[in-house]
Structure 1
Amino acid sequence: MLEPYYQQQENIITITREQGSAFAKQVADDFNPLHDVDAKKFCVPGDLLFSLVLDHYGLSENMEFSFVGMVDETSELVFPAEAEQFEVTSKEKVMLSVSRSGSNSKCSTLIDSLTRNYVEFSGTTFPHIIIPIMGEQQVMINPARPMVIYESMAIHMDNLDVKEVTLEAGQHEFSYDGKRGKINLRFNLLSEGQKVGYGEKHMLVSGIREYCQETVDDLIDYYNNRKSTLKA
């Protein structure tokens, strides 16, 4: 599933702007301008790094991911030998920190279904989840410079003896102090209707301002128009 979105020479993985942008739009349904091919500060989607880790190391019962550095087309990613704790680096700089424990599954069917469902959920959190959850507290992101940073995520599996999983949204949380805030997006993992795991995605928000419905409507219209244009 991931082969079109990276290349590997010996132990070095690289991702072009075109590949990162294609993954964001074709797999994650994520139209963040940071993932555009011509973005001034292009950034490889964190969900692609998450997907590559699962593909490389399998799915463990407990996994935590911390996105430390910004990966772009110049990054030369080194995936180290399997361990309970490891770091994906580029030119000796840490880009992603991973910790894991418990049993491990390398079932490609399970990993593919988890990857597709999580990435789709993660990629569509803006604007469908983030804007409403901030609006409940009468604040919003700065539409001129919407800074939402993918900080970390965690997954726990109660049962790895399943073939496929689906994802359902859980209870989300948003808190802020001044112009900075934190978003905690929770989800459950289901197999044949039964809960087999759960997870969280943590995001940082800056440039928070007072809520304005007209501005929010304009922002959502802009996002939807951009999405329909780029998908055409």
Structure 2
Amino acid sequence: MFPEQFFSVQDGRVVISAPQASYFAKAIAGDFNPIHDPDARRFCVPGDLLFTLVVSRFGLSENMTFKFRNLLGAGVPLEFRKTDDGDTIHVVDEAGKIYLEVSRSGGLTQDQSTIEEFSRCYVAASGKNFPHTLKPLMESHGVMFNPDRPMVMYESMSLTLNQLEASHPELELNNAHLEVAGKRGNVTLDYHLRSSGNTVGEVSKRLVLGGLREYCPEAMAGIIEEFYRLKARGTEWGMETPDQPAGA
């Protein structure tokens, strides 16, 4: 199964280490958000990894919505609970705290090659969020996140598929919108899912930007320079496959 290298199983529960989560963010999603660095003070498992684990375990449905309820740190034992009707999935810890809530409907495929191809396509869009999309979006509104602690997090993701068997799927950005509310920014990214030259679905991602301040070209240039420096030094920042913990 594609995502097996990104988690281990301990006492029947899924556990994601910081190196595993960081490797997924950088090597699969192309996401160099500092919050996914293993030594980050407020380390967070990427939402794209939880998305990938859910669709790999429960299949890809025609209609799915993913709502991120809490930030997930490293090493938390997780359970994946499905309701009796199968329409809702919760990712929770041993105390019942919900990290991800998934609702789904419509047709379903369990074909792992189809799911892997779609998952890789879906999460790869994260690697284009910054600087390609977010930088001009923030600039046009005269705001930016804290250059010392940039906070960009998923709030929700949703998808609507016209067909489940889509060969070589690609996400094409259709619209990007930023709503500024004080020091918080709400970003909506809408995509067309393309396959063989046709639109076969729609995808929407909602992100939260924290600690907004007045836009500073010099500070933004420094952030972008650091982003590409980290990307170029990917091996040092987790691009090597992490060792599997015992029980994997």
Q: TM-score range by the shorter chain?
A: over 0.9
Residue identity in the other structure for 1:4 = Q
Determine the C-alpha separation between the residues in 2 that align with 1:160 and 1:37. Answer: 35
SS at match of 1:96: strand
Quote the residue 2:245 is aligned against: none
Distance in 2 of aligned mates of 1:128 and 1:172: 11
Q: Look up the match of 2:66.
A: 65
Q: What's the CA shift for 1:73? A: 2.0
Q: Give the aligned CA root-mean-square deviation in angstroms.
A: 1.5
Counterpart of 1:124?
Answer: 128
- Alpha-carbon shift at residue 28 of structure 1 (Å): 1.0
Match status 1:137 vs 2:148: no
Q: Give the SS at the match of 2:82.
A: coil
Deviation at 1:171, TM superposition (A): 0.8
1:168 aligned partner, one-letter code: E
SS at match of 2:232: helix
- Greater Cα offset, 171-180 or 159-168: 159-168
Residue equivalent to 2:244: none
The verdict on how the C-alpha distance between 1:129 and 1:138 changes in structure 2, with shifts beyond 3 A counting, is: same
1:191 corresponds to which of 191, 195, 206: 195
Partner of 1:178: 182
- Who is 1:3 aligned against? 4
Q: Distance in 1 between matches of 2:32 and 2:165?
A: 34
Question: 1:219 — aligned with what?
Answer: 223
Paired with 1:62 and 1:101, the residues of 2 have a C-alpha distance of 5
Deviation digits for residues 138-174 of structure 1 (CA, Å, limit 9, x no counterpart): 2211212212221110010011243442221111111
Distance 1:161 1:149, change over 3 A: closer
The equivalent of 2:34 in structure 1 is 33
Post-superposition shift, 1:217?
Answer: 1.0
TM-score where L is the length of structure 1 = 0.94
Identical pairs, percent? 39
Higher relative contact order (CA 8 A, sep 6+): 2
What letter is aligned with 1:228? A
Cα distance in 2 between the residues matched to 1:112 and 1:55: 8
Deviates more, 1:87-96 or 1:141-150: 141-150
8 Å Cα contact 1:28-1:124 kept in structure 2: no
- Whether 1:79 and 2:80 are equivalent positions in the alignment is yes
Query: 107, 110, 128: which is aligned to 1:106?
Result: 110
- Structure 1 consecutive aligned stretches of length 4 or more whose deviation exceeds 4 Å: none
Give the secondary-structure state (helix, strand or coil) at the position aligned to 2:141.
Answer: coil
Using the TM superposition, give the Cα deviation of residue 123 of structure 1 relative to its aligned residue in structure 2, in angstroms: 3.1
Counterparts of 1:181 and 1:39 in 2: how far apart (Å)? 22
- Equivalent residue letter for 1:68: R
Structure 1 residues 16 and 132, CA gap change in structure 2 (3 angstroms): same
Structure 2, unmatched stretches of 5+, are 237-248
